[in-house]
Amino acid sequence: MRNYNKALIIVAVLVVGGGIGFVITGFASAGSIENSFNFTYEPISPDPIEDLTFNVDIGSLLFKYNTSPTASYAKIDVNIEITGLYMAGKTYLDFFHPNTGWWDNATSTFSLLTLPDVWFDPSHWFKSYNISIVVTLRTDVVYDLTALASVGSIEMEVADDVIINELSLTTSTGSVKFKTLGDNLFTGSVGLESSTGSIESYATRTNFSSGFQASTSTGSLILNYTNCLMGDNLYGETSTGSVTFKSYNMQYSTDILLNLKTSTGSINSDLYQHIIMGANVTGTWETSTGSVNVVYRDTLVNTGFRFISSASPGSINYSGNGTVTGSGGIYSSMNYGSATYRYQFSLDTSTGSINAEAYSA
């Protein structure tokens, strides 16, 4: 028995001592790897619409436009910082594929791909990444732009007077932020998507000729339009999170659907119409658990609205001026039947209230 106890003590000492030595060695070899890489896109034969694709395993993507003349059709600046324990003797090649394969000029595709973690290498256990990819585009070039990120945020600001064809920004884990500064045209569809992360979109004086779609599974959704033109349907959806929709003087080149949806969260909408719409808008704004809150304003005798509400269980609350009327689940402007242009929305919640405040000419 004494020998057995001694053996246990020896094993415990070795384990504890080994653990302490492991930690000490790790901190002694702690450090960071920092690298910067630059790429340019130079098409052999430029096309009327240039396709650009970005595939990123980890890192933040920022798209911006040039502020001075540039010869290249796109400039890509990559900054990598990898920190952690057991970094002595390591390079970025222990974690990423070689930079010589990141940019393919023939297919105009950028791919920043990580290597599989090595389970027996402790540098992979304790690492953390700080990676940014900044893409500078040309204001005089029309792009089809696709960005796919596994882990990381995507942000894009579109300069004044810029035309874009197709735009797709997608991340699995991270936020998407999108902004147009004014007098912009999208000739193709626009899609923003995240699995886990918020989406924010702010557009000013922008023509979305082929519509707009934004969706996230877990995260809030903000859609803000000022003096924009919508040429096709507009969809905004999240599974868990709130939806905020604000429209100020939107115009429509054709009748469209405008649908907003969340499963768990509220829908908050401000809709102001002081210029001629140009077409009719219908849609459904629905949540399973949460409230639907709407503020509506128009100052046009040729414009009307109707809200058809359903809340079970829950309350339906209407308020407004003398030119609107409500009865049961229907709330509308008194000129709805004779209006040239109309908004009509179904407001639905399973658990929550519906609150609508409206003022109409």
Q: What is the pLDDT of residues 119-161, one digit of tens each?
A: 667 767 768 889 999 999 999 999 999 999 999 999 999 999 9
Supply the range of the domain harboring residue 67. 31-152
The answer to whether position 84 is within a domain reads yes
The answer to whether position 12 is within a domain reads no
The answer to whether position 76 is within a domain reads yes
* 248 pLDDT tier (thresholds 50, 70, 90): very high
Say what the alpha-carbon torsion angle 286, 290, 295, 301 is, to the nearest 10 degrees: 30
Cβ contact 264:239 at 8 Å: yes
The answer to whether position 204 is within a domain reads no
CA distance 209 to 211: 6
Q: Between 89 and 310, name the one with better pLDDT.
A: 310
Tokens representing 73? Answer: 């059709």
Number of continuous H segments (helices) and E segments (strands) in the chain: 2, 32
The answer to whether position 75 is within a domain reads yes
Predicted model pTM: 0.90
- Across-strand partners of 57? none
The answer to whether position 95 is within a domain reads yes
Q: Is the pLDDT of residue 11 over 80?
A: no
The answer to whether position 39 is within a domain reads yes
Give per-residue pLDDT as tens, 320-333. 887 898 888 999 99
Mean pLDDT of 190-216: 98
Q: Is the pLDDT of residue 192 over 50?
A: yes
The answer to whether position 276 is within a domain reads no
Average pLDDT over all residues of the chain: 91
Q: Cα separations (Å) of 10 from 16, 21, 25, 252, 335? A: 10, 16, 22, 80, 90
Phi/psi-derived region of residue 186, left when phi > 0, alpha when psi is between -120 and 50, beta in every other case? beta
Domain total of the chain? 1
Helices (H), the chain: 2-28, 122-125
CA distance 126 to 83: 8
Least confidently predicted of 20-34, 163-177, 205-219: 20-34
Percent with pLDDT over 90 in the chain: 78
Mean pLDDT of 272-293: 97
Q: Is the pLDDT of residue 1 over 70?
A: no
